[in-house]
Amino acid sequence: MIEALRQAPALLKEAVQGLNDQQLDTPYRKGGWTVRQVVSHLADSHLNGYIRCKLALTEDVPLIRTFDEQNWAGLTDSLTFAPNLSIELLESLHNRWAALFEALQEADYQKAYLHPDSREEISLHHALSLYVWHSKHHIAHITSLRERMGWA
Ligand code: NI
Protein backbone atom coordinates (compact mmCIF):
# COMPACT_ATOMS: atom_id res chain seq x y z
CA MET A 1 0.00 0.00 0.00
CA ILE A 2 2.91 2.33 0.66
CA GLU A 3 4.12 1.72 -2.87
CA ALA A 4 0.62 2.43 -4.20
CA LEU A 5 0.61 5.70 -2.28
CA ARG A 6 3.98 6.60 -3.79
CA GLN A 7 2.84 5.78 -7.33
CA ALA A 8 -0.52 7.55 -7.23
CA PRO A 9 0.64 10.98 -8.47
CA ALA A 10 2.29 9.39 -11.53
CA LEU A 11 -1.02 7.69 -12.38
CA LEU A 12 -2.83 10.99 -11.96
CA LYS A 13 -0.31 12.69 -14.21
CA GLU A 14 -0.87 10.02 -16.85
CA ALA A 15 -4.66 10.40 -16.50
CA VAL A 16 -4.60 14.11 -17.38
CA GLN A 17 -1.74 13.93 -19.90
CA GLY A 18 -2.47 15.90 -23.05
CA LEU A 19 -5.90 17.21 -22.05
CA ASN A 20 -6.63 20.74 -23.27
CA ASP A 21 -8.32 23.46 -21.22
CA GLN A 22 -11.78 22.63 -22.51
CA GLN A 23 -11.33 18.98 -21.59
CA LEU A 24 -9.93 19.90 -18.17
CA ASP A 25 -13.03 21.99 -17.54
CA THR A 26 -15.42 19.15 -18.38
CA PRO A 27 -17.34 17.64 -15.43
CA TYR A 28 -16.65 13.92 -14.98
CA ARG A 29 -20.39 13.47 -14.52
CA LYS A 30 -23.43 15.72 -14.79
CA GLY A 31 -23.27 18.30 -12.00
CA GLY A 32 -19.96 16.91 -10.79
CA TRP A 33 -16.51 18.42 -10.51
CA THR A 34 -14.44 19.12 -13.59
CA VAL A 35 -11.20 17.26 -14.20
CA ARG A 36 -9.36 20.37 -13.04
CA GLN A 37 -11.34 20.44 -9.79
CA VAL A 38 -10.81 16.72 -9.18
CA VAL A 39 -7.04 17.15 -9.46
CA SER A 40 -7.12 20.14 -7.14
CA HIS A 41 -9.32 18.21 -4.71
CA LEU A 42 -6.72 15.45 -4.45
CA ALA A 43 -4.08 17.99 -3.44
CA ASP A 44 -6.45 19.66 -0.95
CA SER A 45 -7.55 16.39 0.58
CA HIS A 46 -4.13 14.80 0.78
CA LEU A 47 -2.49 17.85 2.32
CA ASN A 48 -5.08 17.52 5.07
CA GLY A 49 -4.54 13.77 5.20
CA TYR A 50 -0.81 14.13 5.68
CA ILE A 51 -1.34 16.57 8.55
CA ARG A 52 -3.86 14.17 10.12
CA CYS A 53 -1.28 11.39 10.08
CA LYS A 54 1.32 13.62 11.71
CA LEU A 55 -1.18 14.65 14.38
CA ALA A 56 -1.98 10.99 15.08
CA LEU A 57 1.73 10.28 15.49
CA THR A 58 2.39 13.09 17.91
CA GLU A 59 -0.77 13.39 20.02
CA ASP A 60 -3.08 11.00 21.85
CA VAL A 61 -5.96 10.26 19.43
CA PRO A 62 -6.27 13.91 18.41
CA LEU A 63 -9.54 15.31 17.17
CA ILE A 64 -8.85 16.45 13.62
CA ARG A 65 -10.83 19.01 11.69
CA THR A 66 -12.61 18.61 8.43
CA PHE A 67 -12.66 21.05 5.54
CA ASP A 68 -15.57 21.99 3.33
CA GLU A 69 -14.44 20.24 0.17
CA GLN A 70 -17.25 21.65 -1.97
CA ASN A 71 -16.30 25.20 -1.00
CA TRP A 72 -12.62 24.48 -1.50
CA ALA A 73 -13.44 23.15 -4.97
CA GLY A 74 -15.15 26.46 -5.72
CA LEU A 75 -12.08 28.59 -4.99
CA THR A 76 -10.18 30.21 -7.84
CA ASP A 77 -7.20 27.88 -7.58
CA SER A 78 -9.42 24.81 -8.00
CA LEU A 79 -11.26 26.39 -10.91
CA THR A 80 -8.37 27.86 -12.88
CA PHE A 81 -4.91 26.59 -11.94
CA ALA A 82 -2.97 24.27 -14.19
CA PRO A 83 -3.25 20.65 -12.93
CA ASN A 84 0.53 20.43 -12.85
CA LEU A 85 0.64 22.77 -9.87
CA SER A 86 -1.31 20.17 -7.91
CA ILE A 87 0.42 17.16 -9.42
CA GLU A 88 3.91 18.43 -8.60
CA LEU A 89 2.76 19.11 -5.06
CA LEU A 90 1.28 15.61 -4.82
CA GLU A 91 4.48 14.01 -6.16
CA SER A 92 6.48 15.65 -3.44
CA LEU A 93 3.84 15.09 -0.75
CA HIS A 94 3.29 11.42 -1.57
CA ASN A 95 7.04 10.74 -1.65
CA ARG A 96 7.36 12.21 1.80
CA TRP A 97 4.16 10.53 3.04
CA ALA A 98 5.34 7.12 1.78
CA ALA A 99 8.74 7.63 3.41
CA LEU A 100 6.98 8.53 6.66
CA PHE A 101 4.92 5.33 6.57
CA GLU A 102 8.01 3.28 5.76
CA ALA A 103 9.83 4.69 8.77
CA LEU A 104 7.04 3.74 11.20
CA GLN A 105 7.36 0.98 13.74
CA GLU A 106 4.68 -1.71 13.53
CA ALA A 107 2.95 -0.37 16.66
CA ASP A 108 2.73 3.14 15.21
CA TYR A 109 0.15 1.91 12.70
CA GLN A 110 -2.33 1.54 15.55
CA LYS A 111 -2.03 5.22 16.45
CA ALA A 112 -5.17 7.03 15.42
CA TYR A 113 -6.98 10.29 14.99
CA LEU A 114 -10.60 11.01 15.81
CA HIS A 115 -12.88 12.15 13.02
CA PRO A 116 -15.32 14.80 14.31
CA ASP A 117 -18.27 13.81 12.09
CA SER A 118 -18.24 10.02 12.27
CA ARG A 119 -16.62 10.02 15.77
CA GLU A 120 -14.61 7.14 14.34
CA GLU A 121 -11.02 6.52 15.39
CA ILE A 122 -8.99 6.19 12.20
CA SER A 123 -5.74 4.29 12.69
CA LEU A 124 -2.72 5.11 10.53
CA HIS A 125 -3.10 1.69 8.96
CA HIS A 126 -6.64 2.60 7.98
CA ALA A 127 -5.59 6.09 6.85
CA LEU A 128 -2.99 4.59 4.51
CA SER A 129 -5.55 2.38 2.79
CA LEU A 130 -8.06 5.22 2.79
CA TYR A 131 -5.83 7.62 0.88
CA VAL A 132 -4.67 4.94 -1.56
CA TRP A 133 -8.35 4.22 -2.22
CA HIS A 134 -9.12 7.95 -2.49
CA SER A 135 -6.38 8.43 -5.09
CA LYS A 136 -7.66 5.55 -7.23
CA HIS A 137 -11.27 6.63 -6.80
CA HIS A 138 -10.68 10.09 -8.28
CA ILE A 139 -8.15 9.00 -10.91
CA ALA A 140 -10.82 6.58 -12.16
CA HIS A 141 -13.25 9.50 -12.54
CA ILE A 142 -10.80 11.03 -14.99
CA THR A 143 -9.82 7.88 -16.88
CA SER A 144 -13.44 6.78 -17.28
CA LEU A 145 -14.40 10.24 -18.55
CA ARG A 146 -11.57 10.02 -21.10
CA GLU A 147 -12.83 6.66 -22.25
CA ARG A 148 -16.44 7.76 -22.43
CA MET A 149 -15.59 10.89 -24.40
CA GLY A 150 -13.19 9.03 -26.65
CA TRP A 151 -10.28 11.30 -25.70
CA ALA A 152 -7.20 9.32 -26.62
NI1 NI B 1 -12.65 12.90 -2.61
Q: Which of 103, 133, 114 is nearest to 42 (CA)?
A: 133
Does domain 2-149 sit in CATH 3.40.50.920? no
In this prediction, residues 1-20 reach a mean pLDDT of: 98
3-state SS, residue 54 = helix
pLDDT confidence of residue 78: 98
Instruction: Work out the widest C-alpha separation in the chain, in whole angstroms.
Output: 50
Q: Is the pLDDT of residue 152 over 90?
A: no
Q: Is the pLDDT of residue 142 over 90?
A: yes
Centroid of ligand 1 to alpha carbon of 40 (angstroms): 10
Query: Per-residue pLDDT tens for 73-82?
Result: 999 999 999 9
Task: List the Cα angle 103/131/70 in 5-degree steps.
Answer: 140
Centroid of ligand 1 to alpha carbon of 104 (angstroms): 26
Centroid of ligand 1 to alpha carbon of 42 (angstroms): 7
Q: Which of 59, 35, 55 is nearest to 47 (CA)?
A: 55
Q: Residue ranges of the domains in the chain?
A: 2-149
- Beta-ladder partners of 114: 63, 121
Query: Per-residue pLDDT tens for 78-94?
Result: 999 999 999 999 999 99
